Amino acid sequence: MHPMLNIAIRAARNAGKVIVKGYENLEAVEVEEKSLNDYVSSVDKEAEVAIIGTLRKSYPDHCIIAEESGADDGKDKDYQWIIDPLDGTTNFIHGIPHFSVSIALKIKGRTEVGVVFDPIRNELFSAVKGQGAQINGYRTRTNTVAKLPGTLLATGFPFKQKYHTETYLNIFRDLFMEVADMRRSGSAALDLAYVAAGRVDGFWEFGLKPWDIAAGELLVKESGAMMTDFNGGNDHMKSGNVVAANPKLLKEMLTVIRKHNL
């Protein structure tokens, strides 16, 4: 196993223990609104501390970008960890058992390690660049369906950017008329992991952050799929507008999305 993947998995599992403990005692969890419709719980913060603490034991000089505590510029600029300690906080605080830990490592600007961990189902999705992706040790492959009819797509509502609602719903309508069905689960990291594992055929969403998608992107790519922005380019980390699917289905999805002049 890649030594840094091993540490990422350890960090994700340590965070998972914090999350499960909090989930079993939700009435004691403190919740605050960071911004409109964007919540953070005391468990998010505790899980992030557990992740950073685990990483720092092995790599004290690495840079860290974390959703709750922001950027911590370490001495070694070549290594950057990107962390979402609890992707799916709204699900978590409502007692819906669908959320995840997301940890990615960039080395000299390229994502080399990615982990998405579902602590409720004990499902660990992991990838190392050039070595494929796995779920609990078994190789994952994305679905190879080439056309929209019959597919199952995942998405996320633009709840932090409700000014996109009309455009989003127009795209949703056009895609929905073509596909078998659509899912909105509440955790973009798990949605991408599910694309990698072939559980859903594709994924699209507005306005995501790097910590939502950094690990998931590597899972997707190492499973035979692609991830782009809404124009089919590579600006998704900056714009947060994400489409992921196998290359042929991705092209079909982009054809629909591009009609809306984003």
Q: Under DSSP, is residue 230 helix (H, G, I), strand (E, B) or coil?
A: coil
Q: Which residues contact 223 (CB under 8 A, 6 or more apart)?
A: 127, 132, 133, 140, 141, 142, 195, 196, 197, 198
Query: Which tokens sit at 253?
Result: 């999805």
Q: Per DSSP, what are the bridge partners of residue 219?
A: none
Single-letter amino acid code for the residue at 133: A
Burial 45-68 (b: 16+ CB within 10 A, else e): bbbbbbbbebbbeebeebbbbbbb
- Whose structure tokens read 């950027």? 71
Q: Which pLDDT belongs to residue 262?
A: 61
| Percent of the chain clearing pLDDT 70 (strictly above) | 98
Residue ranges of domains in the chain, CATH in brackets: 3-138 (3.30.540.10), 152-260 (3.40.190.80)
Q: Per DSSP, what are the bridge partners of residue 210?
A: none
Q: Tell me, what DSSP letter sits at residue 95?
A: T
Q: Which pLDDT belongs to residue 65?
A: 94
pLDDT at 70 > cutoff 90: no
The span from the CA of 47 to the CA of 86, in Å, is 7
Confidence category of residue 34, pLDDT binned at 50, 70, 90:
confident
Query: Which tokens sit at 204?
Result: 């699209």
pLDDT at 74 > cutoff 90: no
What pTM value is reported for the model?
Answer: 0.95
Q: Which pLDDT belongs to residue 229?
A: 96
Q: Which pLDDT belongs to residue 36?
A: 66
In tens, the pLDDT along 158-211 reads: 887 788 899 999 999 999 999 999 999 999 999 999 999 999 999 999 999 999
